[in-house]
Amino acid sequence: MRTSLNNIRQTEAFLHAQLPPQEAILFEARLLTDPLLRLNLRLQQKAYSLIRMYYRKKLKEEVSDVHEQLYNDPQQSAFKQQIQQLFKS
């Protein structure tokens, strides 16, 4: 269990470029010789990628909601006209 926790910590540090150069080189060498460590690294990279995609999608939805509120609310027509004037100039 302890080795597994250390592998996770090292993998995290490696992915975030937080390992000292000597440790990074040793970790890269371990990746070449340890298929399980290599697999865990790829899975962690995939997890980070999915998390980024999720938050990117969530942010786009929030921006779209704000856009809808500002551009479809009759009370915001003056704001809408000001924004349109900025892009006409």
| pTM listed for this prediction | 0.69
pLDDT band at 1 (very low <50, low <70, confident <90, very high): low
Length of the chain: 89
pLDDT digits (tens, 9 = 90+) for 40-89: 999 999 999 999 999 999 999 999 998 888 778 888 788 878 888 888 86
Of 9, 46, 5, the C-alpha closest to 27 is 9
Alpha-carbon distances, residue 14 vs 23, 57, 71, 81 (angstroms)? 9, 27, 45, 50
User: What pLDDT, in 10s, does the model give residues 8-46?
Assistant: 999 999 999 999 999 999 999 999 999 999 999 999 999
